[in-house]
Each structure stands twice: as C-alpha cells, then as structure tokens.
Structure 1
Amino acid sequence: MGKASSKMAAPVVVNATAKHTATIIFLHGLGDTGHGWASAMAAIGSPHIKFICPTAQVMPVSLNAGFRMPSWFDLKSLDVDGPEDTDGIRKARDLIHRLIDDEVKNGITHDRILLGGFSQGGALALYSTFTHTHTLAGVIGMSCWLPLRQEFPQVCK
C-alpha cells in the first residue's frame, strides 16, 4: 500500500541556545508529527544540543485499513514474522541518513549525533543507526522493534 517518499517536509528544529556541539534527531510514532515531540525535547535539552524532529510523509497504512496518516513506512502486520515494507523502510532510513549527513556538513561529528524515536520512529531510529556507515553517539528506541531483523547482523556497518 503506502510507500515512503524520498521527500520530507521541513523538520521542526529546536536550536541550541549556546554553542551547538551535538544534535539529537528524534522520530515520532505512527500518526504523530515532529511538532508532537519538539517541546518535550526542548524541555529536557542542554544548551549545546540542537534537536531535529522531522515529520513523516502522510501515506496510506495497510495495518489501518489504508487510512492516510504520517508514517515513516507502511505497516502491514503486527505479527513478528509478518510481511514488512522493505523498500519503504530503506527509503525512510535514507532520509534519516541525509539528515545526519546535513549535520556533519554543518560541523557536527558523527559521534555527537544521537538518533531517537518512539514506536515506529524508534524502530526507524534503530534501523538507521545500525545501518549507518559511521558510529553515532547512540540510539534511543522507546516502545519499538527492530525492523527487517532477519538482515542482522549482516547489514550492520
């Protein structure tokens, strides 16, 4: 059904209030937006940390009878061995990798970039971190799963 797009709306950004030396990219869950997490990130942040809270494209979600909502990739099943949207997961990962690349171009080293997310966003954060070519500062996955788990550990970079 739904396919992750190669484009994304401008993310919600909470800029560092002091010298920017680290970035946290936090990914929302199914049906939410970056706005839903930006204020929470700002409240717990340190002055040197920039927060980036992107919003997934709106797409039909198979698991929700094709209802259109913000989603990083299509969800086809809740079954641990059920079908997954392989192409959509990889396209969404590529979007997140581009956000990381943009931060590196702006002077933040990989070891000062952390990915995090909730639910579907946490799943994408895990997959994006483990498949990135550089070691990141860390990953936080809240109430999530590892998508395309059958590919691991071979796809780890």
Structure 2
Amino acid sequence: MSRPPIEIETAPNPTASVILMHGLGADGNDFVPIAGELDLSAVGPVRFVFPNAPVIPVTINGGYEMPAWYDIAVADLVAREDEAGLRRSQASIEALIANEKARGIPAHRIVVAGFSQGCAMALMTGLRHGERLAGIVGLSGYLPIAATTAAERHGANHDTPVFLAHGRQDPVVPLARAEQSRDALVALGHPVEWHEYQMAHSVCMEEIADLNRFLLRVFG
C-alpha cells in the first residue's frame, strides 16, 4: 500500500474492527467522516481502519498514476480484469485482517467493507477469507473475477451477512452490474441484504443509517 492506514477508535481497547477500502483515485481519508456518522456505542469500542491503495498507472485514465486497488482497462468493468492486481490487493487486505487479529480482535468481530473498487476488494477478500468474519459490506461496487468465486470462496464465510447498496443513477458502476453481482452471490447461497437509493456514484444518509443497523446486528 502507498501509506499506512488511517485508524480511528471510538474508545480505548476496541472489541470490533471495520476495515473500509476507498474507491479509485481517493485515499483512506475519503471515508473517515463515515466513522463519525455511525453510532456503534451499543456494541462497545470499535476500531475503523481506512487503508490507502497503492499508486499505480490506470489504463482507462490514460495511464495516469493514482491510488487504485487494481488497474481498469476499459469501461466494461468485468472485461479484461486485472486479476494480478486484484490478488495483490487481496493479499494486502488479508494482512490488515491478520493485524487486527494480532491485536486481539477475532475474525468474527471484523467487518470488511468498501466503496466502488473498495467494494470489489471487500467482496473478493471477505468471501475467500479462511475464518468467519462478522460481515461483508459492498457500497456502489461489484463482484470481481466472478467466475472464480464459487471455486475459491471459503466455507467459513458461506453464511456471513453481506450488505450491498447501490445508487439507481450510478454512471460509474451501472446498477445492472451490481444486480448481477447480487444475484450471483444469492445463487451461491450467501445471505445478501440489498439496498437501492436515489443517488449516483456516492453515499447518502439513508444508506449510512441502513449500514449502521447492519453493523449493530452483525456485531451483536
């Protein structure tokens, strides 16, 4: 990763963690305000981890270097996928999960989450993780290298709750792409909580409220 992650703890000695990946061209600061909007006091102290993607050339943007979890070659997000880049970032996120466990947070108290490219990484990593996680959150994104999911997903997370949310007017990741990802996960038996909002490629307060309820539930 380009820089160490940003960390925010709601109180000392956290008992749960949320690892939240930003989207293309952003950085860990992008979703820091979300931590302030969520009220998870009912589940005790929570650590939010906001990692920074590596800075790499992005083909669709003329090779311009920017923070990205993987390269995007064409507007059709599932054509010519950067599998090598996806797997490198997956390994980086696995290292973050391992770090949380080393600091005393068990896997079943960790949520992996992300927006856009970060959503792709949360789904890819969470479904393949070898221990059961508390939850997987995907905002305004899609399931990457979907054809490999059935073979590579780990049984430990077959019933882990998945929160998927998307804007009906999203011009970056079309709603249909997100619906295909949702349907693929449901067909594999994953419990998906699906939400749509009147928004573009962004986050809205209604979505944050729904996410808050989801996190309260999975952290118990």
Question: Taking structure 1 as the reference length, what is the TM-score of the superposition?
Answer: 0.91
- CA drift at 1:68: 1.1
Report what 1:42 is aligned to: 36
Superposed CA deviations along residues 100-144 of structure 1, whole A, max 9, x for unmatched, are 000001110101000111000011110010111111111110110
Q: Note if contact 1:42-1:51 (Cα within 8 Å) is conserved in structure 2.
A: no
1:56 aligned onto 2:50: no
Give 5+ residue unaligned stretches, structure 2: 155-220
Residues 81 and 43 of structure 1: is their aligned pair in 2 closer, same or farther, counting only changes over 3 Å? closer
Equivalences, count: 151
Residues 10 and 80 of structure 1: is their aligned pair in 2 closer, same or farther, counting only changes over 3 Å? closer
Inter-partner Cα distance in structure 2 for 1:13 and 1:45: 17
- CA drift at 1:39: 2.2
Report what 2:151 is aligned to: 154
1:15 aligned onto 2:13: no
Residues 27 and 134 of structure 1: is their aligned pair in 2 closer, same or farther, counting only changes over 3 Å? same
Report what 2:18 is aligned to: 24
Inter-partner Cα distance in structure 1 for 2:23 and 2:81: 17
Inter-partner Cα distance in structure 2 for 1:59 and 1:76: 13
Q: Which residue identity does 1:154 align to in structure 2? A: A
Q: How well do the aligned residues superpose, as a CA RMSD in angstroms?
A: 1.3
1:78 aligned onto 2:75: yes
- CA drift at 1:42: 3.0
Question: Taking structure 2 as the reference length, what is the TM-score of the superposition?
Answer: 0.66
Q: Which residue identity does 1:33 align to in structure 2? A: D
Inter-partner Cα distance in structure 2 for 1:61 and 1:113: 30
Question: Per residue, is there more helix in 1 or in 2?
Answer: 2
Is the deviation greater in 16-25 or in 49-58?
16-25
Inter-partner Cα distance in structure 2 for 1:124 and 1:33: 14
Secondary structure of 2:52's counterpart equals coil
Give 5+ residue unaligned stretches, structure 1: 1-6
Larger CA Rg, structure 1 vs 2: 2
Report what 1:3 is aligned to: none
Q: Which residue identity does 1:29 align to in structure 2? A: G
- CA drift at 1:8: 4.0
- CA drift at 1:57: 1.2
Inter-partner Cα distance in structure 1 for 2:59 and 2:113: 25
- CA drift at 1:18: 4.3
1:136 aligned onto 2:130: no
Secondary structure of 1:55's counterpart equals coil
Structure scoring higher RCO (CA < 8 A, sep ≥ 6) equals 1
Q: Note if contact 2:107-2:134 (Cα within 8 Å) is conserved in structure 1.
A: yes
Report what 2:199 is aligned to: none
- Runs of 4+ aligned residues of structure 1 deviating over 6 Å after TM superposition are none
Inter-partner Cα distance in structure 1 for 2:3 and 2:12: 26
